[in-house]
Structure formats: C-alpha cells, structure tokens
C-alpha cells in the first residue's frame, strides 16, 4: 500500500466538518477513507472534580492531546493501524470503547484546530476550511450541546460567549490562511471530491492557493 493521502478539515464549531467527512466517505467508499475525529483526542479529565471539568475551555488547543493525535497520524501515514478511545462529553472523560483506525488510502482529520496546530498541519497533504456563516454555526452548536451533550440552553450560551467566540478568533479563524481549499459550507463538496478522487487515482495533489467559495 502506498502512503495514505491525508486531508485536514477545519472550520468553526458547527460548520459541518463531521458531516462533510462522512459524506466524502460515503461518496468514495468506506474501504477508501478513514476519518480521524479530533474530538476523540480531548484530554481525559477523570482526575478532577466534575464541577471543575465544566469550566475547562475545550476550544483552546491545550484541551487536546495534540501530541497523541500527531503520533497517530504519523503511524497511519506509515501504513500502521492505531487505536484511540471515544470521548464522553457529558462526563468529559475518555471511555473504554476502543476505536480502531486503519491506514486506508484517504485519511480525513477533522476538527476545529487541525489547520492551526503546528504539530498537525505539516502532516497534511491537503488543508480544507469550511467557512460557514456564524449564525448557522451558533445554532448548530447549541442544538448539539442540548441534544447530545447534556447541557441546558443557558449552559451552552454561556460557554459559547465565554470560550467559543474568543477561541475561534484567536485560533480557529487564523487557520483559514493555511487552507488549500475554502468551502462555503459542508454541502460545497465538488472541488474537494475532485481532489480526493485524483489522489486515489494517483494523479497528484492540489496546488497551493486553490479556493472554492472563498469570501
């Protein structure tokens, strides 16, 4: 097997990164694509009281075990499988459920910080940023927090103002300048799929500076 082609998908919270990665996997086939969700690499907080866990800024790079993510990505690029663990956002702890990641031809790494972390960005053959509208992202984030992560609307709104907005401006948005492709939303997939299909066919990679839906 040749070394996998690695693409990073970034963008603000609620921009549709997971949706886009799964759509790409559906279009190219599950045997062709492995998805690395950076959410699985949040640091385990089981060692601190539950009340204190809620005050952790999960939108700051320090909340992620970036070293472990980079190590796993290097292993996959070397065609070696790795194991990580699912993360429970209601308890802010890693679970016992192991997630095996296989070195398939396309590796998609998705997360708000993957284009901003100096340990991750050099390992990517293609950098993608989803530039979704702020109001859309906020609505999606609050719905997800309340439906999936055990938070009240008040808790979600507080976290959004306290952590999400300043960290987006400080860390996430600057990653856009590193992108090879900028998408207007998670449904804006044609350019990305074309590049990945070319990579699968061994026809080369994207030229730096290519933009789709930039604004």
Dump pLDDT digits (tens) for 185-196: 888 888 899 999
Q: Which of 13, 33, 37, 15 is nearest to 25 (CA)?
A: 33
Q: Please report the pLDDT score of residue 150 as a whole number.
A: 78
User: What average pLDDT does range 35-49 have in this prediction?
Assistant: 89
3-state secondary structure of 123: helix
Q: Please report the pLDDT score of residue 212 as a whole number.
A: 41
Is position 134 within any domain?
Answer: yes
Query: Residue 199 pLDDT > 50, yes or no?
Result: yes
Query: Residue 213 pLDDT > 80, yes or no?
Result: no
Is position 51 within any domain?
Answer: yes
3-state SS of the chain: helix, strand, coil percent to 5?
Answer: 40, 20, 40
Taken in order 78, 33, 179, 162, is the CA torsion positive or negative?
Answer: negative
Is position 120 within any domain?
Answer: yes
Q: Please report the pLDDT score of residue 90 as a whole number.
A: 75
Q: Which of 140, 185, 186 is nearest to 164 (CA)?
A: 140
Is position 19 within any domain?
Answer: yes
Is position 94 within any domain?
Answer: yes
Is position 210 within any domain?
Answer: no
Residue-range definition of the domain harbouring residue 29: 5-200
Is position 172 within any domain?
Answer: yes
Phi, psi angles (nearest 5°) of residue 36: -105, 115
> Where residue 185 sits, what CATH number does that domain have?
3.40.50.300
pTM of the complete model: 0.86
Residue 113 C-beta-side C-alpha neighbours within 13 Å: 23
As for how many domains the chain has, the answer is 1
Query: Residue 209 pLDDT > 70, yes or no?
Result: no
Give the residue with greater pLDDT, 200 vs 72.
Answer: 72
Is position 206 within any domain?
Answer: no
Tell me the pLDDT tens digit for each residue of 98-150: 889 999 999 999 999 999 999 999 999 999 999 999 999 999 989 988 888 77
Q: Please report the pLDDT score of residue 117 as a whole number.
A: 92
Contact indicator for 8, 114 with CB cutoff of 8 Å: yes
């Amino acid at each position: 097997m040749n070394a996998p082609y690695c693409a990073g998908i970034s963008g603000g919270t609620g921009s549709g990164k997971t949706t886009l990665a799964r759509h790409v996997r559906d279009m190219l086939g599950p045997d062709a694509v492995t998805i690395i969700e950076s959410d699985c690499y949040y640091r385990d907080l089981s060692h601190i009281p539950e009340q204190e866990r809620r005050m952790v800024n999960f939108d700051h790079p320090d909340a992620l075990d970036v070293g472990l993510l980079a190590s796993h990505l290097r292993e996959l690029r070397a065609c070696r499988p790795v194991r990580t663990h699912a993360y429970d956002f209601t308890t802010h702890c890693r679970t016992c459920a192991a997630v095996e990641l296989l070195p398939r031809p396309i590796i998609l790494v998705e997360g708000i910080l993957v284009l901003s972390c100096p340990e991750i960005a050099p390992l990517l053959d293609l950098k993608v940023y989803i530039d979704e509208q702020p109001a859309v992202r906020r609505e999606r984030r609050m719905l997800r927090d309340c439906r999936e992560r055990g938070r009240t609307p008040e808790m979600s709104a507080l976290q959004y103002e306290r952590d999400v907005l300043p960290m987006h401006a400080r860390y996430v948005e600057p990653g856009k300048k590193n992108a090879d492709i900028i998408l207007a939303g998670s449904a804006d997939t044609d350019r990305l799929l074309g590049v990945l299909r070319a990579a699968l066919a061994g026809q080369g990679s994207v030229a730096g500076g290519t933009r789709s839906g930039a604004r």
